[in-house]
Amino acid sequence: MRNLNEYLDSTLLRADATAAQIAALCHEAMEYKFRAVCIPPCYVSLARDILRGSDVRIATVIGFPLGNSATAVKAYEAERAVGDGADEIDMVMNISYFKSGRHIDARDDIREVVSAAAKGGAIVKVIIETCLLDEDEIREACRLVMETGAAFVKTSTGFSTGGAAAEDVRVMKETVGDRLKIKAAGGIRDLAAAGELIDAGADRLGCSAAADVMEEWRES
C-alpha cells in the first residue's frame, strides 16, 4: 500500500459547515498532503485561493445528495464549479432513473456532467449510492458508468441509509477491473476501516475523519 495520505479525500459536506471550517480543512490537507479536499460548491473558490501552489486537489459535489436534479442543472453546476477551481467532480447518479429502469437516461445524465467537467480539464466520480442497490444493481450501475467517460465510480454520499462497505467495493472492483477507479466514502472512521476498503479495491477514500485516520496510521 502506498502512503495512506495519497488515498484520502478530506471531506466536509455538512450543511452547517462554515467558511472558517473549510479554510481549516484546506490548511490541514496541505499539512498532511492529502490527495484532495471534498467540499461544497460554494466554497470551491475559497479552497482554490488557499490551496494555490499545493498538490492538494479540489473536489466538489454535484446533484448532491439525492442525484435527481435536472441534467442541465447538474451540467451547469459542474461547469461553474470547474470554472471556480474544482479539479474533480463527485456527482450523484440519478438513482431514481436507474431504479425505474431508465438506464439510458441515467447514463446520459452522467455523460452531460462528464462533458461539462472536461471543458475545464476536471475528472468525474459517479456516486451510485450502493446502500440503495442490490449486488446485481451495483454491477449494472458500474457497467453504466463505464460507458460515460467518468474516471471513478464511488460508493456513497454518506447522507443516505449507509456508507462504504468492503463487500460492495469488491463487487465494484470485480465489475470494473482497471477500467475505472473506485472511491469509497461514508462512515470511514478509523484505520481498520480504511485498510479494509483499500484491500477490497478502493483507490480513494472520502473521509471526514481523515486527520484522525492519518494519526492512527502514523502511530501504527
Catalytic residues: 90, 154, 183
What are the residues facing 8 on neighbouring strands? 205
Q: Are 94 and 74 in contact (CB under 8 A)?
A: no
Q: What is the DSSP letter of 132?
A: G
- Rounded to 5 degrees, φ, ψ at 136 are -65, -40
Cell 467558511 -> residue: 19
Q: Say how far apart CA 140 and CA 78 lie, in whole Å.
A: 25
Which residue type is seen at 183?
A: K
Contact 169, 192 (CB under 8 A): no
Task: Give how far Cα 42 sits from Cα of 85, 141, 156, 182, Å.
Answer: 11, 29, 21, 25
